[in-house]
Structure 1
C-alpha cells in the first residue's frame, strides 16, 4: 500500500504553533500507527530554513519542486501570509495542489491564502478572529463562521487561530483513521485544555 502524504507548508513569517501544533498531532498519530498508511512532512517554496513569526527557525524537509505528491495539504497562518496573498506564482501552486490533493486544510490566516487563490468562493470558512475583515475583503462570497474552531466543508477544512489548528488536526485524524484513533492521539499528546484564566 502506498503511503499517503500529509504536507505542512512552511514559509517566512509562519506562526509557530499553526505549524508545530498540527505537526505534533499528525506526527504522533503517523509514527505510532504507520499501518494507517499516512506520513507527515514539511515543505517550503525553496526548501531549507524558514524564520517563523516569533523568530524560531525551522528547516523544511522539501522544496515545492521536490516534495512528494500530497494527499493532504495543511497551510498555516502568520504574518507571512499577507505577501503570499499577492504572490501569483505561489497562488498558482496552491490552485494546482487543490486539483491534485484530496484535502486542503488551513490554520488561522492560512485561509487568507486560500481565499486569494479563489478556493473559498461561496463556501463556509473561518480564520483568526482579528482577520475576519481581511477574509471578507478578499472574497465577500465566503460564508464566514467566525465563532467556529474549525469548518469542515468536505475537501476544504479551515480552522480559526493558532491553537485551533490542534483541534482541526485531531478532527483530521478522526476523518482519516477514525474517532478512536483521534482519541488515542489526543491522550498521547495529553491535550485536554482547561484555560486557567
Structure 2
C-alpha cells in the first residue's frame, strides 16, 4: 500500500474557525471519498490537547509540532492568534524548516502575515484578507500583494484572502494534488457553489 499523503492543518488559540474547518471539509471529503491514493488530514498544533478558536469553538489537536509525522502539505489559518505567532521565533523557524523540506505551504486570511514574518513570501505574489493587505505589504515590501484575488497559487506557496476564500484555495489544492476531476467530485459531494464574481 502506498504511503499516505499527509495534510496538516495548523490549529492554534484564537484561530478563525472557518479558516480551519472550511479547508478541512474540502480536504477531508477528498481524503475520505474521492482521492485516488491514500490521504490523511491531521490537526497540528503547538502541542496535543485542545485549542479555543476566535469565537469559542474548541478543537482537538492530533499532533504537536514535535511529534507530528512528516507533512506533505500544511494549511496555516488566520485569526487573531496570528499576532502572537508572527512574533514566535520557534513557530517561524518551524515554517521555514517545512519549506526547506519541500512541504507545500498554504495560508488562509491573516495566515499569510505569519508566512511573511517567516520571510517566506519575499518576492512572491500573495493575498490576505483585504483589511490586512496594507499590513502584509508593510511586513515585506517585496511582496506583490494581490488583495483582490480569492487565492494566489505561486507554486511552492498558496495564499488565500479572507475566511471563506480558504475553501476556494482548498479546492485548488485538491486540483493540484489529484486533478480537476477530483476537485469537481468534491465540489459536488459537499454541494459547494462557487462565488459569483
Q: 4+ runs of 1 displaced by more than 3 Å?
A: none
- Normalised by the size of structure 2, how large is the TM-score? 0.96
Q: Residue 112 of structure 1 corresponds to which residue in structure 2?
A: 113
SS in 1 for 2:59: strand
How far 1:101 moved relative to its partner?
3.5
How far 1:38 moved relative to its partner?
1.9
Which ranges of structure 1 fall in alignment gaps of 5 or more residues? Answer: none
How far 1:61 moved relative to its partner?
0.8
- Following the alignment from structure 1 to structure 2, what is the Cα–Cα distance between the partners of residues 94 and 81? 13
Matches within 5 A, 1:52-63: 52-63=53-64
Which ranges of structure 2 fall in alignment gaps of 5 or more residues? Answer: none
Q: Residue 46 of structure 2 corresponds to which residue in structure 1?
A: 45
Q: Residue 191 of structure 2 corresponds to which residue in structure 1?
A: 190
Q: Residue 145 of structure 2 corresponds to which residue in structure 1?
A: 144
Structure 1, 39-48 or 93-102: larger mean CA deviation: 93-102
Distance 1:94 1:133, change over 3 A: same
Q: Residue 169 of structure 2 corresponds to which residue in structure 1?
A: 168
Structure 1, 113-122 or 37-46: larger mean CA deviation: 37-46
- Following the alignment from structure 1 to structure 2, what is the Cα–Cα distance between the partners of residues 74 and 57? 18
Q: Residue 25 of structure 2 corresponds to which residue in structure 1?
A: 24
- Following the alignment from structure 2 to structure 1, what is the Cα–Cα distance between the partners of residues 165 and 152? 11
Q: Residue 130 of structure 2 corresponds to which residue in structure 1?
A: 129
Aligned residues: 195
Contact 1:124 1:145 (C-alpha < 8 Å) held by counterparts: yes
How far 1:97 moved relative to its partner?
1.1
1:180 matched to 2:181? The reply is yes
- Following the alignment from structure 2 to structure 1, what is the Cα–Cα distance between the partners of residues 39 and 179? 13
1:91 matched to 2:125? The reply is no
- Normalised by the size of structure 1, how large is the TM-score? 0.96
